[in-house]
Amino acid sequence: MADKLYKSAKILAPMVRCGTLPLRLLALRYGANTVYSEEIVDKKLIQCERIENKILGTIDFVSGEVGNRELVFRTLRQEEHGKLVFQIGTATPELAVQAAKVVAADVDSIDVNMGCPKHFSVHSGMGVALTRDSDRACSIIRALRASLDIPVSCKIRLLETVDETVSLVQALEAAGAQAIGVHARTASMRPKDKPRWNQLRQIVESVSVPIIVNGDVWGPLEIKELKELSGCSSFMSARGALKNIKVCFENDIEKAKAEQEDNQSIIRIIHDYVRISIDFDNHGKNTKYVIQYMLKMNNQLGSTFGQALSSGKTRTMFDIAKVCGLTGYYDHALAEREKLLSSSSSSSSSGGGGGSSSSSSSKMEDILGTGRVYDDDFFYARPKKRQKMGTAPNVKLPPDFKNILMQWGDLQTNLTRKQQCPQYQHIDVGAASDHFDDVAKKSQAKCFKAAVYVAGKKFIGEWAKSKSQATSKAAHAAIVELGIDNESLKGPVTKGY
């Protein structure tokens, strides 16, 4: 099974909030060999109950009590069998095994996320924190191999030097990892930074298990280049699949080019995605998020369609179907579901037809809850408005220095937790006048200053117009003084991956 999943494969990468059932099915239908689920954290998975959803033909994992259920993971075995890798977020062998056992009978492999650089992950010892502690990473792989009958893989980012990465992949292979996804960026590199493809050959040649190359694989053109450069035969795409999933998993370079040049391509893909979302009762919020991501990757969020889709009024699957002109499809799918429900349920149905108030939707919710609950800042890829920084010439949208410093701290395993975590102290003009001689000269427009304590040192920023700008300037001072990765400071940073 490991060979089938991971060898010479084109793979849909794990993507939190995007890699739910509809995107995975879309990827498989457009030519992906293997699909990864979004990362689910072990503690969440352990709480889940397995339900066979006879209406949809899916296996669902739900948490919470009846009446207040949350859909955590849904798989369609009929189509995903032999192709589905389930990714867990974990920090300990015990929880990893406990969580993996919940889904092991319904997926084809378990992958451990060792590449997530987000604060919540690293802070709790998951994601890239594991690659900084290879003993713990290996103990998780060993425990999973010893307890499961299905393959086990992991996904990492590059370490600072290629030798370090080589040692890590060799250790993971020795611990039992049957494939290793390598995102060819380091933890501090941003998605827009050029991945270090030139390091891959050494990594690929250092182990005998498949290395799955990831990072800026947009379609067959990059695959051809990467094959020559790295000698690798397995590839994984995340944003490529969101930008144009058809181009991404196309084999033929000429066909991919033609598809790329067709400006209706993404709209057709979105319609296909919406149909699958309707078929499998995907949550409107999740569907909307993924479509927004697709549009964003194609610079089409501002188009008439993008605006209608992004409107606050577009919430449910029915609203999305309406924006896409697919209400007929929606009504038909619901009517079919209604028939199945009434034949499987003794209670009488209270009306048919389409619309967001359909009885089959509410009955489905009675059975399964309202779908996965996400936080309010759902479309987190939308760039935050950033203020101009007076002192940074030619930089209109400054990087998120506070975030960069926090992520850097997370990676400093030689520091105590307190030293890793930047702590800010603010002063305004009034409070500062006793301490700084030049305060009297400051205009009212620039009356905030901040200091940050990190790595056992104190760094003071420039005067600023607001408290948040002062925070950013203090973080910037620390970044400069500590010589933190200048590469990542070149442009705006979006949260997350």
Structure tokens at 289: 């998020």
Count other Cβ atoms within 10 Å, centred on residue 423. Answer: 11
Among 13-21, 26-34, 45-53, 136-144, the segment contacting ligand FNR (CB under 6 A): 13-21
Structure tokens at 377: 């800042």
Please report how the helices 21-29 and 239-248 are oriented relative to each other, as an axis angle in degrees rounded to 10.
Answer: 30
Q: Is 116 a catalytic residue?
A: yes
Is 197 near ligand FNR (CB under 6 A)? Answer: no
Is 38 near ligand FNR (CB under 6 A)? Answer: yes
CA distance 489 to 192: 12
Taking CB under 6 A as the criterion, the residue among 197, 235, 273, 497 binding ligand FNR is 497
**Minimum gap (Å) between residue 402 Cβ and ligand FNR:** 22
Residue of 18, 48, 116, 324 with catalytic role: 116
Neighbouring residues of 101: CB distance < 8 A, sequence distance ≥ 6 = 147, 148
Residue type, 371: G
Is 203 near ligand FNR (CB under 6 A)? Answer: no
Q: Show contacts with ligand FNR in window 117-136 (CB under 6 A).
A: none
Is 238 near ligand FNR (CB under 6 A)? Answer: yes
**Minimum gap (Å) between residue 406 Cβ and ligand FNR:** 19
Largest CA distance in the chain: 82
Is 216 near ligand FNR (CB under 6 A)? Answer: yes
Taking CB under 6 A as the criterion, the residue among 217, 301, 411, 470 binding ligand FNR is 217
Neighbouring residues of 262: CB distance < 8 A, sequence distance ≥ 6 = none
Q: What end-to-end distance do the CA atoms of the chain give, in Å?
A: 29
**Minimum gap (Å) between residue 312 Cβ and ligand FNR:** 22
Give the H or E element holding residue 459: strand 457-460
- Which residue(s) pair with 445 in the sheet? none
Q: How open is the CA angle 313-238-492, to the nearest 5 degrees? A: 75
Is 214 near ligand FNR (CB under 6 A)? Answer: yes
Taking CB under 6 A as the criterion, the residue among 5, 9, 12, 13 binding ligand FNR is 13
Among 15-23, 42-50, 367-375, 475-483, the segment contacting ligand FNR (CB under 6 A): 15-23
Instruction: Give the nearer residue to ligand FNR in terms of CB position, either 280 or 293.
Output: 293
Give me the 86-105 binding string for ligand FNR, x by CB under 6 A, dash otherwise.
-x------------------
Is 42 near ligand FNR (CB under 6 A)? Answer: no
Do the bridges between strand 84-89 and strand 109-114 make them parallel or antiparallel, or are there none, so unpaired?
parallel
Closest Cα partner for 293 from 216, 376, 383, 211?
383
Among 14-22, 323-331, 406-414, 478-486, the segment contacting ligand FNR (CB under 6 A): 14-22
Structure tokens at 394: 């030619």
Among 8-16, 21-29, 138-146, 345-353, the segment contacting ligand FNR (CB under 6 A): 8-16
Structure tokens at 326: 């697919």
H and E: helices and strands count for the chain: 23, 15
Taking CB under 6 A as the criterion, the residue among 5, 12, 15, 427 binding ligand FNR is 15
Strand, helix or coil at 205? helix
Neighbouring residues of 42: CB distance < 8 A, sequence distance ≥ 6 = 88, 89, 90, 92, 95, 96, 98, 99
Q: Show contacts with ligand FNR in window 410-429 (CB under 6 A).
A: none
Among 10-18, 160-168, 299-307, 363-371, the segment contacting ligand FNR (CB under 6 A): 10-18
Instruction: Give the nearer residue to ligand FNR in terms of CB position, either 183 or 476.
Output: 183
The binding site for ligand FNR (CB under 6 A) comprises 13-16, 18, 38-39, 87, 113, 115-116, 155, 183, 191, 214-217, 237-240, 497
| Residues labelled as active-site residues | 116
